Amino acid sequence: MISVRNIYKRFGSQVVLEGVTLDIEPGKTTAVVGPSGVGKSVLLKLIMGIMTPDRGEVYIGGENMTAARTERARNDIRRSLGVLFQSAALFDSLTIYDNIAFSLRERVGLSATKAHSKVLDMAASLSLTPYLQNFPEQVSIGIRKRVGMARALITEPKVLLVDEPNTGLDPLDGQEVYDLINACKNQWGFTGLVISHELPEVFQVSDRVAMILKGAIIAEGTPAELTASQDPAVQQFLNGRTDGPIKIQ
């Protein structure tokens, strides 16, 4: 469904990604894990086509995002994507209702009545009905994440991208986001890509896991396979030790 082929990305002299290759199977959820600052968010932005790789290609549902030269061409490919951002990235000048309705109005161009019933259905299934007239800053971060999910899923995307589902959340809110991802996966059946540095919590939403370190994927498999891996870097990261091949700067 998503195929990342030999991606390179650097910022000035700082090399971030050096030959990342990753295939995400349709209907499954893959987690990309790794320490902070290895370039997980950069990878996500490359997949969304809001950054361009120096080398390599990104395919989404067989379409080449990297070769799409104009924003319009990239937009056509982006239609199959939904994104849940780290801090939800809700539009704070709009109500929660308008946030959820955003894609339907601005992109799909649905009539107000049709959009209205869709928004109400979505709000009901994510228990957001009481908050529809609030502004994002008036509700808790846990609810904002649910709104972000509703906003992403309203156009029924084939792929859902999630950046750091529970960073900055307390353990209860964090767990709620994982439960939300699993519930939505069952209901909408998207292909998922979750970026996280929280192990092993992220395993509960993952069918497969890929670990990224020093610009490349160093291990890949099911959560069980990764846990059993003999790779010292994987073991160090899983067990949260400070000694080992991963250097803490």
Partner 1 sequence: MGVLTTIEHFGAFIIETTERWGRSWIFLFRSMVALIRPPYRPYLYFSQILQIGVNSTLVIALIGLFTGAVLAVQGEYTLSKFGANAYTGPAVALSLIRELGPVLTALMVIGRAGSAVTAELGIMRITEQIDALRSMAVDPIKYLMAPRLFAGVIAMPLLCGIFNVVGIFGGYVVAVGLLGLSAGTFMSQIESAVALVDIYSGFIKATVFGLIFGWVSCYKGYTCGFGAQGVNKATTQSVVTASVAVLIVDYFLTSVLTRVFMK
Ligand X SMILES: Nc1ncnc2c1ncn2[C@@H]1O[C@H](COP(=O)(O)OP(=O)(O)O)[C@@H](O)[C@H]1O
* Count of residues that interact with partner 1, criterion CB under 8 A: 24
Interaction residues for partner 1, span 151-180 (CB under 8 A): 151, 161
Partners of 160 in the β-ladder: 82, 192
Specify the residue, 40 or 118, whose C-beta has the smaller distance to ligand X.
Answer: 40
3-state secondary structure string, 201-243?
Answer: HHHHHCCEEEEEECCEEEEEECHHHHHCCCCHHHHHHHHCCCC
Which residues, 6 or more positions from 186, have their beta carbon under 8 angstroms from its beta carbon?
none
- To partner 1, the closest distance from the beta carbon of 115 in angstroms equals 14
Member of 3, 41, 95, 175 binding Mg ion (CB under 5 A): 41
Interaction residues for partner 1, span 98-127 (CB under 8 A): 102-103, 106-107, 109
Specify the residue, 52 or 133, whose C-beta has the smaller distance to ligand X.
Answer: 52
Specify the residue, 154 or 212, whose C-beta has the smaller distance to Mg ion.
Answer: 212
- To Mg ion, the closest distance from the beta carbon of 86 in angstroms equals 6
**Residue bearing tokens 């650097």:** 10
Which residues, 6 or more positions from 193, have their beta carbon under 8 angstroms from its beta carbon?
2, 24, 29, 30, 31, 32, 44, 47, 159, 160, 161, 162
- To Mg ion, the closest distance from the beta carbon of 167 in angstroms equals 8
Q: Backbone phi, then psi, for 234, in 5-degree steps?
A: -65, -45
Specify the residue, 142 or 223, whose C-beta has the smaller distance to partner 1.
Answer: 142
Interaction residues for ligand X, span 25-64 (CB under 6 A): 36-42
Q: Which chain residues interact with ligand X by CB under 6 A? A: 11, 16, 36-42
